[in-house]
Amino acid sequence: MKYFVRMERVEFEMFANEILSRLPTKCVARLRCVSKQWRYELSSHLFAIIHYRRTAKYEDHKLITLTKSSIVLHNLISGKVDISSRKIISFPVDTCLSNLTILASEYGLLLISIHWLPNELILWNPTTNKFLNLCDKKPKNFFDLQKDAVGIYIDSSNDVKILLLQRRKDDVVPRVYSRNTCEWKTLTFLKGPDYGSSLYWLSSGTLCNNVLYFPSPHYWTPAKSYTIAFDMDSETFSKVSIPQCTDVIGRQSSFFFQNPQHTSYVYIWKHP
């Protein structure tokens, strides 16, 4: 009997991942009300990833406007903001919105830093309003907004992962969080005296062709700036040359690649 129950569940899981994952989000939301089994399978992490990858290029993107008093969500249709779709959403953690800083976004997820909690790192899905607090047992030393950098990617096994570059005592410690195992592991970083120097500033990672790029501009000498590349398949780091502006004083904080299939949210910090 257990064998047949297992086979039935496997067959339904295949049906959900191969057929139902091609339906629009609103249809999937309605189908979750069919039964407990349908709700369980259509709410699974694996189904969410498969559904996103298949429908992201067809569905409208979202625009999030963050102010000190509210978080506003709009639809983006053909690159234009749909004013009639305005919707105010709430942040799932009880904190002042002025304490929030959006660090990165990918696959419909936002990485957010909350200051004074202290400096907690939150993985948030604005569509479902579900979140994860990624801090380990020592939150005071977990994330430093001025020194550290983060990025989001999905590996070959459809596991959502968070790469955190912690800069401590003139050294960079890379750590990777697995959504499947809910655990952190430490990787090996590059050797060199400059990587952890306070004269450099790390920006959030930009994903392109299975590589996360972290620009590391020099505070005073732009010509000394470099970019760190993380290969998500081999989990190794390298130093690459990206053209930098050498005729300006200041820092280049980030860059982006036009890849709409991997961007579901555009976010803006709007000052009051």
**Tens digit of each residue's pLDDT (9 = 90 or more) over 70-107:** 898 887 776 678 788 888 989 998 888 888 888 888 77
108 within 8 A of 127, measured Cβ to Cβ: yes
The structure's pTM equals 0.70
How would residue 138 be classed by pLDDT, with cut points 50, 70 and 90?
Answer: low
pLDDT digits (tens, 9 = 90+) for 179-207: 889 899 999 999 887 888 888 888 888 88
Higher-confidence residue of 177 and 77: namely: 177
pLDDT digits (tens, 9 = 90+) for 101-129: 888 887 778 899 887 655 688 999 887 88
Angle CA 124–128–134, to nearest 5: 25
DSSP string, 234-257: TTEEEEE------SSSS-------
Q: Does the pLDDT value for residue 59 go beyond 60?
A: no
